[in-house]
């Protein structure tokens, strides 16, 4: 292999099967020098052997070296590097040498567990990072006139310090191979430092990678918790709707009949239970949904209150890209936590790599108190307007008509307008598109017989409802020309709030529509909403609350009534402050009116937003924030959310 790490394949064969050796080694040509290849590349090799369905069902996502360091650097490596830098700065050589020797012993005493280790990338990269530090120490000691020639092997850090649990037997073998290759690579670099050969037989040391289901296995059978320093990894990303019966059963002993939580939450609970009465620290990569919407309460309330954990650092949502052959894009968070007392500064990291110090990081990954925003059937604050979903047809889409279908019917039946109204959903509202629906409330159903096309659709709706597994829906088959849930106001205008909106918008487009436009159940609506309501909901204060507590569809916001709106802490303004908000709200409507041909999608694109509209929103933001008794300017959105969460805590206590 031209100076490669394993020129003689027989070195590996005693510990790994021939098939695995062939798979690993055929990936490189005979001219490839393995000593320069990062062993973490085997993660991509392993993932490339799996079909997409296997990866999806197992929630497997290969971890790049860059993303691994987002976990291990704040977990322990930043601290170790800082400690080494302090030792290097010690001016007295004898003291510095003694401290270097103690630091090397410390590196060799650390123990690491990845309870979902896959192909071993976290363990391998951590081992490489520790050995690089150790090689720096060895280099310093050698130049400090330590008599190293009499030492059989100056290396103290070993892959036997690393433990893993993995359910896939093939991945277990890949992880072991990666660690052995890493061990041999780093020893070669040590030999370059000390300028002599060191006795080393590859694969002689033990890589503690155990095959098993980590949510069923007792982790203390892998490594006693009193010996462990850190837990880390990238557990499976499987949403609750995609979980297999076996995966749901895995979570049952940990969360006891709790529904609608992601599979990764099981690793948090197992780690928290394992860490009790220890100084162990943990950091996991997770699907961001466990820090959003309805999952926060069932996951984090138990972790904070029953297990006594606290979050030490966290990366807020960022996109996690797989580097394997088939790309995968998921939105993730990284959460570091522990159960013991910690004097270290808590840190919130942002996708651009910056961070801020935090007093307390809660389950929403906000610097604020540990609150749990649970579904509420009525608004938290008294006297505020009621918001509801739009109307639901339960019609299999048969009540709705495209503009082309509608115009064809009008040409054929000029009076059909009495049974067909303009309709809207979130998408058509934002894009200013047209949509129509059958609307028969309060109208004589006998007149429908004049329109065969409408009667045919109504007949199909009846059949659709009769075939429903729900008894309530089957009852509505007696009225196949009516919506099953009718919340449409009978007069005036209503305020429409899309249920789902792009995360790229600073402000979710909200606006008024006449009662003659039928809103379906993909939007929220507020009948007879005042300008004050409009101003509050269009403010960055409400948007900040929404972004913090709402659920997400991928990354798009989902503004639900029971979770987002009904829990929102409203201000108690003076009459002067209320009037000011009404003025700034009207200014937003006036600024929109300057561009009658532009859709809300155009107006609220962060690139094309007109200056008049942006200034109107900024004035409204200021007026609303002042109504909370807070001085302008607002220091940051996270400060706004922290204030709202304190209000929520007071209002619910």
Question: For the residues of 287-310, what is the DSSP string, one character each?
Answer: EGGGGSGGGHIIIIIIIIIIS--E
Specify whether 138 is located in the same domain as 42: yes
Residue 436 domain-assigned (yes or no): yes
pLDDT at position 47? 57
Residue 522 domain-assigned (yes or no): yes
Residue 519 domain-assigned (yes or no): yes
Q: What is the pTM of this model?
A: 0.82
Q: 144 to each of 69, 137, 147, 195, how far by Cα in Å?
A: 31, 10, 9, 15
Specify whether 451 is located in the same domain as 516: no
Parent domain of 472: 392-486
Q: Which residues neighbour 329 within 8 Å (Cβ) at sequence distance 6 or greater?
A: 319, 320, 321, 322
Residue 254 domain-assigned (yes or no): no
- DSSP code at position 340: S
pLDDT at position 43? 55
Residue 239 domain-assigned (yes or no): no
Specify whether 348 is located in the same domain as 313: yes
Specify whether 213 is located in the same domain as 158: yes
Nearest CA to 422 out of 525, 489, 517, 511 is that of 517
Contact predicate 399/483, CB 8 Å: yes
Nearest CA to 547 out of 562, 534, 564, 523 is that of 564
pLDDT at position 513? 96
Query: Which residue in the block uniquely carries the two structure tokens 């929102």?
Result: 568
pLDDT at position 181? 86
pLDDT at position 57? 45
Nearest CA to 550 out of 426, 641, 457 is that of 641
Q: Looking at 464, 486, 508, which one is the last position of a domain? A: 486
Both tokens of residue 192? 């370059």
Contact predicate 270/214, CB 8 Å: yes
| Cα angle 389, 393, 394; round to 5 | 110
Specify whether 450 is located in the same domain as 567: no
Q: How many residues in total does the chain contain?
A: 653
Alpha carbon distance 435, 414 (integer Å): 18
Residue 479 domain-assigned (yes or no): yes
Contact predicate 12/177, CB 8 Å: yes
Total tally of structural domains belonging to the chain: 4
Q: Print burial letters for 182-213: b (CB count within 10 Å at least 16), e (below 16).
A: bbbbbbeebeebbeeeeeeebbeeebbbbebe
Specify whether 46 is located in the same domain as 134: yes
Alpha carbon distance 290, 15 (integer Å): 39
pLDDT at position 65? 86
Alpha carbon distance 316, 366 (integer Å): 9
Strand pairing partners for 337? 282, 311
Q: Looking at 459, 486, 513, which one is the last position of a domain? A: 486
Specify whether 302 is located in the same domain as 331: yes
Strand order in the sheet with 500-501: 500-501, 556-558, 551-553
Specify whether 150 is located in the same domain as 13: yes
Q: Which residues neighbour 243 within 8 Å (Cβ) at sequence distance 6 or greater?
A: 251, 263
Residue 385 domain-assigned (yes or no): yes
Residue 1 domain-assigned (yes or no): no
Specify whether 627 is located in the same domain as 547: yes
Which residue stretches of 508-599 are H helix?
A: 531-537, 540-549, 575-593
Q: Looking at 372, 400, 421, which one is the last position of a domain? A: 372
Specify whether 509 is located in the same domain as 467: no
Specify whether 501 is located in the same domain as 645: yes
Specify whether 381 is located in the same domain as 359: no
3-state secondary structure of 51: coil
Alpha carbon distance 116, 129 (integer Å): 20
Alpha carbon distance 311, 362 (integer Å): 7
Both tokens of residue 421? 């109204």
Nearest CA to 24 out of 48, 39, 2, 45 is that of 45
3-state secondary structure of 356: strand
pLDDT block averages, 10 residues each, the chain of length 653 = 31 39 43 58 55 47 80 96 95 92 96 95 95 94 58 85 93 88 88 76 69 96 96 90 90 88 95 96 94 91 95 90 53 92 86 89 93 92 94 96 96 95 95 95 91 96 96 96 96 94 91 96 93 97 93 80 95 97 98 96 95 97 95 85 94 90
């Amino acid at each position: 292999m031209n100076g490669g790490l394993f020129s003689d394949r027989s070195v590996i064969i005693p510990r790994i099967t021939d098939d695995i050796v062939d798979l690993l080694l055929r990936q490189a040509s005979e001219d490839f020098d393995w000593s320069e290849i990062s062993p973490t590349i085997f993660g991509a090799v392993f993932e490339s052997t799996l079909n997409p369905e296997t990866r999806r069902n197992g929630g497997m996502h290969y971890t790049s070296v860059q993303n691994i360091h987002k976990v291990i650097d704040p977990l322990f490596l930043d601290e170790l590097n800082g400690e080494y830098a302090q030792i290097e700065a010690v001016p007295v050589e004898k003291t510095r040498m003694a401290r270097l020797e103690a630091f090397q012993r410390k590196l060799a005493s650390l123990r690491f567990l990845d309870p979902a280790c896959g192909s071993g990338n976290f363990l391998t990269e951590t081992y490489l990072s520790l050995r690089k530090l150790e090689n720096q120490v060895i280099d310093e000691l050698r130049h400090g006139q330590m008599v190293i020639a009499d030492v059989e092997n100056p290396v103290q850090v070993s892959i036997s310090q690393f433990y893993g649990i993995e359910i896939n037997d093939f991945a277990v073998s890949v992880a072991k191979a990666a660690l052995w290759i890493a061990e041999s690579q780093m020893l070669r670099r040590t030999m370059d430092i000390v300028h002599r050969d060191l006795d080393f037989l590859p694969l002689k040391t033990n890589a503690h990678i155990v095959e098993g289901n980590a949510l069923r296995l007792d982790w203390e059978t892998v490594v006693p918790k009193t010996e462990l320093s850190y837990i880390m990894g990238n557990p499976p990303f499987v949403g609750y709707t995609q979980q297999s019966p076996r995966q749901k059963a895995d979570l049952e002993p940990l969360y006891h009949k709790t529904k609608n939580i992601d599979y990764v939450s099981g690793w948090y609970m197992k780690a928290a239970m394992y860490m009790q009465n220890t100084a162990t620290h943990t950091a996991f990569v997770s699907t961001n949904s466990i820090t959003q919407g309805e999952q926060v309460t069932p996951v984090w309330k138990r972790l904070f209150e029953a297990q006594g954990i606290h979050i030490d650092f966290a990366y807020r949502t960022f996109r996690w890209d797989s580097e394997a052959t088939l790309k995968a894009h998921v939105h993730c968070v990284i959460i570091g936590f522990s159960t013991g007392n910690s004097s270290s500064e808590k840190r919130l990291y942002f996708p651009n790599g910056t961070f801020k110090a935090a007093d307390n990081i809660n389950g929403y990954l906000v610097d604020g108190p540990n609150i749990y925003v649970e579904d509420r059937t009525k608004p938290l604050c008294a006297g505020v307007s009621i918001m509801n979903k739009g109307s639901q047809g339960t019609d299999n889409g048969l009540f709705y008509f495209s503009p082309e279908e509608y115009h064809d019917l009008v040409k054929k039946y000029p009076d059909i307008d009495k049974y067909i109204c303009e309709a809207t959903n979130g998408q058509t509202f934002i894009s200013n598109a047209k949509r129509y629906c059958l609307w028969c409330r309060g109208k004589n159903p006998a007149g429908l017989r004049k329109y065969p096309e409408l009667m045919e659709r109504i007949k199909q709706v009846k059949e659709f409802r009769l075939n429903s597994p729900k008894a309530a829906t089957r009852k509505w088959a007696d009225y196949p020309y009516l919506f099953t849930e009718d919340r449409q106001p009978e007069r005036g205008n209503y305020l429409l709030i899309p249920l789902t909106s792009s995360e790229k918008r600073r402000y979710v487009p909200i606006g008024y529509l006449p009662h003659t436009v039928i809103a379906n159940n993909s939007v929220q609506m507020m009948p007879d909403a005042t300008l004050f309501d409009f101003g509050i909901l269009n403010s960055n204060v409400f948007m900040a609350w929404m972004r913090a507590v709402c659920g997400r569809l991928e990354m798009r916001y989902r503004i639900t009534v029971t979770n987002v709106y009904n829990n929102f802490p409203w201000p108690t303004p003076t009459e002067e402050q209320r009037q000011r908000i009404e003025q700034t709200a009207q200014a937003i409507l006036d600024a929109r009116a300057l561009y009658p041909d532009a859709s809300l999608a155009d107006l609220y694109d962060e690139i094309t937003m007109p200056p008049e509209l942006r200034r109107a929103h900024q004035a409204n933001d200021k007026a609303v924030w002042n109504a909370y008794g807070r001085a302008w300017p607002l220091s940051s959105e996270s400060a706004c959310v922290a204030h709202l969460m304190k209000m929520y805590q007071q209002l619910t206590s």
